[in-house]
Chain A
Amino acid sequence: MSIFITEETVEGADDGPLAGKTVAIKDNISTAGVRTTCGSAMLDDYVPPYDATVVERLKDAGADIVGKTNMDEFGMGTTTETSAFGPTENPVAEGHVPGGSSGGSAAAVAAGEADLALGSDTGGSVRCPAAFCGVVGIKPTYGLVSRYGLVAYANSLEQIGPFGSTVEEAAALLDVIAGPDERDATTREAGADANYADAADGDVDGLSIGVPTELVDGADEGVKEQFYAALDELEAQGATTHEVSLESVEYAVQAYYVIAMSEASSNLARFDGVRYGHSGGYDGNWNETFGKAREEGFGAEVKRRVLLGTYALSAGYHDKYYKQAQDARAWVKQDFDEALSSADVLASPTMPVPPMELGESLSDPLKMYLADANTVPVNLADLPAISVPAGETDGLPVGVQLVGPAFGEETIIRAASALD
């Protein structure tokens, strides 16, 4: 039930904007000289010889790294139960999951084991555990934060994102890690001169909030109650709300999983046990040996996604699944652009359900995939989003998600800080 896979302290520079702060790092972000497992038996004893760009920036900013956090294997899961190292328990909701896949990172902040934490968000993996653990999590615009040194799961969707106890603290961590990186050609100049921590001033007077009905209707009653209470609070502070429609989101979960699994099947092809990772030994030829190494090294959810991704990309099915998923992705982008032309931010519950009980969703993958309905559209549209705590239902944390236009992090941080 541990939060960390590896506890090890790496001291940062003597001074800087994060001097004296402790940071926990998700175990799929490379740390030089510190074991980085991705929650997988495949990388049980893998020690990267270099730092991810975000880790380099943290150290330069004076932060002390306190450990590598538990996660769903290779980021594949919504509960941190697919880790080869066992599940993490939600520190604020006994017997329940912390959310996934960055569950260890959110739990580290919620339990006070670290001031701040980094996770990665491919389909909601920062926002989901933030909502379930009652902390703040930010999924940055695609291209704002370097992915150099992040072990790839689905490149076109994933971004590294910060956790904090407050919006301002999470924003301050984003200030440190954001900005272009010559080692990641998908990073952009936009946002380079932003100041996210300063944007957490709580000023929502005149802010226009769109509420996508499709992302509210399906949520649990208790979650809805807390969500509408949060909207009331924002209105009391001078914001206005109106309903918007995102017709395309009905297809977002399907499109997300087809694209993510397809990219995963390609990315995880590198794990053959020859240059790094679990080796199957060398009985037999190349293919036999790889098949054995991958059978032993990968857990069930990883195999499920690699196989489904291989299927979706195979001859005869590429047009049926992958091409149609790309069409759906373009439609989702268009829908969000339209909704954000009449609103500064869009608001919804982060998760339609409160944290599941440990073990509850493991046996039914499709049910687990459906829990991601509110978060995955944002990754398909490459947009920024924040999850901020909004009370509890039956003693279980509820999060509100605020989505902004591309590189509109300051706006969603400002809006979220009004709920802190």
Chain B
Amino acid sequence: MSDTEATPDDVRHVAELARVDLDEDEVDEFAAQFADILDYFDALDEVPAVDREADLVNVMRPDEVREGLTQEEALSNAAETEDGYFKGPNVS
């Protein structure tokens, strides 16, 4: 048996963190599926620590001004705009 349990409350909590509303049926279905999937992920406990050969290099390019999207193009897919800005919901 797994030491991981996914309760409906866990699913609700993580859905809130991820900003995804769920209906009650989805919460119950996901809780059952998450228990199986997380149980399966538990096998990772057996993986030995491995030395990672980190061969990392910076690949910066010069910071030069170049053409980008026009304001009109940037706004073209927004549901609501105002005075050349994106319009979003209230912050609080």
- A interface with B by C-beta (< 8 Å): 45-47, 49-50, 182, 185, 248, 250-251, 254-255, 257-258, 265, 269, 272-277, 279, 282, 284-292, 294-295, 298, 300, 303-304, 306-308, 310-312, 314, 320-321, 324-328, 330-331, 334, 365-366, 369
Given A288-B89, A289-B89, A311-B14: 10 more A-B contacts, CB < 8 Å: A255-B47, A274-B89, A275-B78, A282-B89, A290-B19, A291-B20, A307-B20, A324-B44, A327-B47, A365-B33
Docked-complex contact A314 and B14, CB < 8 angstroms? yes
Query: Smallest CB-CB separation from B90: which chain A residue?
Result: A285
- Answer whether A307 and B14 are a contact pair too, CB < 8 Å, given A285-B91, A325-B44: yes
| Residues on A with beta carbons closer than 8 Å to the beta carbon of B16 | 291
Chain A residue nearest in CB terms to B59: A185
The 7 nearest A-B residue pairs measured at CB: A276-B77, A295-B21, A279-B79, A49-B73, A289-B89, A324-B44, A291-B21
Residues of A within 8 A of B48 (CB): 327, 331
Query: Given A291-B21, A294-B20, A365-B33, do A327 and B49 touch, yes or no (CB 8 Å)?
Result: yes
Is B17 part of the binding interface, using a Cβ–Cβ cutoff of 8 Å?
A: yes
Q: Which residues of A sit under 8 angstroms from B87, Cβ to Cβ? A: 274
Do the beta carbons of A334 and B50 come within 8 Å of each other? yes
Partner of A303, one of B22, B36, B41, B77: B22
Classify chain B: how many residues form its interface, as a range. 35 or more
Verify B17–A314 contact, CB threshold 8 A.
yes
Chain B residues near A (Cβ < 8 Å): 10-11, 14-23, 26, 30, 33-34, 36-38, 40-41, 43-52, 59-61, 69, 73-74, 76-80, 86-92
* CB <8 Å contact, A298 and B80: no
Number of A-B contacts (CB under 8 A): 146
> A residues within 8 A CB of B78?
274-276
CB-based contact B77/A327 at 8 Å? no
Contacts of B21 on A, CB cut-off 8 Å? 291-292, 294-295
Q: Are B79 and A330 in contact (CB under 8 A)?
A: no
C-alpha spacing A312/B6, complex, angstroms: 12
- B43-A251 in contact (CB<8A): yes
Q: Would B44 and A295 count as touching, CB distance under 8 A? A: no
Chain B contacts for A328, CB-based, 8 A? 44, 47, 50
User: Counting chain B CB atoms within 10 Å of each CB, which of A292, A300, A304, A308 scores highest?
Assistant: A308
Q: A216–B15 Cα gap in the complex (Å)?
A: 38
Cα-based distance from A282 to B82 in the complex (angstroms): 14
A254–B88 CB distance below 8 A:
no
A321 touches B86 (CB 8 A): no
Contact A324 B88 (CB under 8 A): no
Known: A46-B77, A331-B47. A298 touches B19 (CB 8 A): no
13 A–B pairs (Cβ distance < 8 Å), ordered by A: A284-B89, A285-B92, A286-B89, A286-B92, A288-B89, A295-B22, A307-B30, A308-B38, A312-B41, A324-B44, A326-B52, A331-B50, A366-B40
Interface residue from B17, B38, B61 paired with A182 (Cβ < 8 Å)? B61
Cα-based distance from A85 to B61 in the complex (angstroms): 40
With CB as the reference atom, state the residue of chain B lying closest to A296. B21
Cβ-defined contact, B41 with A257, below 8 A: yes
B residues less than 8 Å from A45 (CB atoms):
77
User: Which residues does chain A contribute within 8 Å of B60, judged by CB atoms?
Assistant: 185
Give A331 Cβ to nearest chain B Cβ, in Å: 5
Pair A324/B40 contact, Cβ less than 8 Å: no
Roughly how many angstroms separate A294 CA and B87 CA in the complex, as a whole number?
18
Least CB distance from A337 to B in Å reads: 9
